Amino acid sequence: MKILKYILCLPVLAVIINGCQKYEEINTNPNVTTQVNSPLLATTLILNITRNAVGTQKSFMQPFLLGKYLTWGENQVSYQYNKLGSSDFDSVKVLRNIPPMIKYATSDNLRKSYEGLGHFMSAWQFYLNTMQVGDMPYSEANKGESDRILQPKYDTQKAVFLGILKELDQANDLFAAGADFAGDPIYGGKVDNWRRLTNSFELHVLLNLYKKTGDADLKVIERFKDIAANRPLMRSYADNFALAYTAMAGQNYPWSDIPAGSGNAFVKSNYTMLSGVLLNPLKAMKDKRLFYFAKPSPVKIKAGANQSDYDAYVGVEPSDAFTALQKIRGTTDYSDLNNRYVQLVNAEPVSVFSYWDLQFALSEATVRGWIGGTSAQAYYAAGITNSMKFIAAYTPDLADYHHNMKMEDAYINAYPTSEGVALSGSSEQQIAQIITQKYLANFLQGSQYLSWFENRRTGYPVFKLNTSTSLNIPSSNFPVRWFYPSAELNYNSANVTAAIASQYNGSDDNNQLMWILK
């Protein structure tokens, strides 16, 4: 990971219009580039799925409300209570920068690298979008300028996934043949890192196709085996696809209030309470990450508990009525976020895909019988220990940040094989353990909605459905998808209506199962 040394504040123009030369010379800003180049466009693309997707303050917390990690006290937030609105395809629009990024490359090797980056970015964005809605424009997307296609057809979700897998294969090959490139604030342009990320992410995509292992076109298990055995993969948390933060203005950790009084009113108002979904497994398994994630309940401390006591940490039930949660807030008998998230400019880099995601995927695939040679326990242990080592590495050795329960190497290395933590039981029970550990590792980490997608896919960890508070219609169901974007309904209505009819019997609602879930 490389610390971000700069941030783009303005979108890059892919086309510069000629003409009015004297006027342009007079009005040229000497402090702003007037020429588009490959590195500049690469930076725009990379920051779009790291800095921009992560967000700050309340927008940073929103995906974790949907994932039941915490609750919100400002008002009743839709995501906490299972209400999914409309999606949008805005993240796909930035992919228009890919053709000029490749075009302006100054050598054949650099062209291959930028082309590989383009395929990875395309696969990433389309994956996240199709996971929200199902069928979507893919083959004709972003062809308004090149082919005058203003109303792109909808491809089936299977076709989109086939395209995603092809693009990731192409990215692997292109990065292997390319050269290190400029414009990368994450890996410093090292194509080896990008290749490892690409292949690791492809395994994640394939795992999400676990219900389609019998499909002759997808070849899910065959692809997974080949990539796991023959391609370079991420090696440790140092390979995380993560954005690090700095003390520079506008580059602080998304939840920090640094410098003091910088305006994070949500911190000052104590709007967050951590959930039992997060804290209870940590307490049950004597997991010291508890002391790095949370603060003890002031009520328990006043009653005589020690800050190093597991029972001093109290999680709330996120499905409880908003009014009931407000009463708990008033008592202060709950655990809030650890002070390190507020007081440090870089509490930790925020990853959108992590080494532990890869290791837990390999562990699950081993339990499912897709791969062999290494035990599921070994992959599982690597996922847990790297999560712990990552947290320990980025946490100053202050009692307020680990509550005198510091994670030393001996504890970290022994923990995954301890009683109640080591994989055991049936295949289904082991998968429940794996997904629970993935959930814990991705507290305030992961691409948008990662943990919610994992719960939708596997049912783990178990989220409580409270029919009296759930805002989904009907309240007896958890939602499984977002609505299609309103812009599509307004400007591409014939194609989106046909897609809704073919998938969901003409009803664009939150409870219809998309192809990947069947």
Q: What percent of the chain has pLDDT over 70?
A: 92
Cβ contacts of residue 76 below 8 Å, gap of 6+?
322
At residue 27, the pLDDT reads: 43
CA–CA dist 443, 70 (Å, integer): 10
Residue 94, pLDDT above cutoff 90: yes
Instruction: Report the DSSP pairing between strands 70-72 and 272-274.
Output: antiparallel
Helix, strand, or coil (residue 412) = helix
Q: pLDDT band for position 260 (50/70/90)?
A: low
1-23+33-54+91-233: CATH topology is 1.25.40
Partners of 316 in beta bridges: 275
% of the chain exceeding 90 in pLDDT: 85
Q: If you ran DSSP here, which 8-state letter would residue 485 be given?
A: P
Express each pLDDT in 40-61 by its tens digit. Answer: 999 999 999 999 999 889 999 9
For 60, other C-beta atoms within 10 Å of its C-beta total 16
What's the Cα-to-Cα distance from 8 to each of 51, 121, 403, 471, rounded to whole Å? 10, 18, 38, 38
Report the C-alpha gap between 241 and 2 in whole angstroms. Answer: 10
* Mean pLDDT lowest among 222-231, 255-264, 294-303, 441-450: 255-264
Tell me the average pLDDT across 9-38.
45
Average pLDDT over residues 101-109: 97
The residues pairing with 274 across neighbouring beta strands, listed in sequence order, are 70
Closest C-alpha to 181, from 239, 106, 242 = 106
How far, in whole angstroms, is CA 403 from its chain's centroid?
A: 28
pLDDT of 294 above 70:
yes
How far is the C-alpha of 325 from the C-alpha of 124, rounded, in Å? 37
- Report whether pLDDT(351) > 60: yes
Residue 5 has pLDDT above 60, yes or no: no
- Residue-wise pLDDT for 69-91, tens only, equals 999 999 899 999 999 999 999 99
10-24: per-residue pLDDT in tens?
333 333 333 333 333
Tokens of 170: 């192409």
257 touches 267 (CB < 8 A): yes
Average pLDDT of the chain, as a whole number: 92
The 10 Å Cβ neighbour count of residue 495 is: 18
Dihedral class, residue 423 (left if φ above 0, else alpha if ψ from -120 to 50, else beta) = beta
The answer to whether the CB of 504 falls within 8 A of the CB of 512 is yes
Q: Is the pLDDT of residue 128 over 60?
A: yes
Question: How many helices (H) and strands (E) in the chain?
Answer: 25, 4
218-236 pLDDT per residue, tens: 999 999 999 999 999 999 9
- In one letter, which amino acid is 115? E
pLDDT at 39 over 70: yes
CA pair distance 229, 142, nearest whole angstrom: 35
pLDDT at 144: 75
Q: For 229-270, give the DSSP string.
A: HHS----SGGG-EEEB--SSTT-S-TT---STTSS-HHHHTT
| Distance in angstroms (rounded) separating the CA atoms of residues 446 and 220 | 23
Residue 174 pLDDT class (50, 70, 90 cuts)? very high
Structure tokens at 151: 């109303």
Q: What is the pLDDT of residues 336-350, one digit of tens each?
A: 999 999 999 999 999
Q: 499: closest CA among 157, 218, 164, 211? A: 157
Q: Is 506 exposed, middle or buried (0-12, 13-18, 19+ CB in 10 A)?
A: exposed
Beta-bridge partners for 86: 483
Task: Kindly state the tokens that stand for 225.
Answer: 């085996």
Pick the closest to residue 390 from 346, 450, 433 (CA basis). Answer: 346
pLDDT at 250: 81
* Cα-based distances in Å from 396 to 160, 255, 293, 338: 44, 17, 13, 13
pLDDT band at 2 (very low <50, low <70, confident <90, very high): very low
CA distance 264 to 255: 8
Q: Say how far residue 488 (Cα) sits from the centre of its chain.
A: 25
Q: Provide the b/e sequence for 406-421 (b: ≥16 CB within 10 Å).
A: bbeeeebeebbeeeeb
Residue boundaries of the structural domains of the chain: 1-23+33-54+91-233, 486-517
At residue 282, φ and ψ (nearest 5 deg) are: -60, -40
Q: Give the residue from 453, 439, 451 showing the smallest Cα distance to 514.
A: 453
Counted residue by residue, the chain has a size of 518
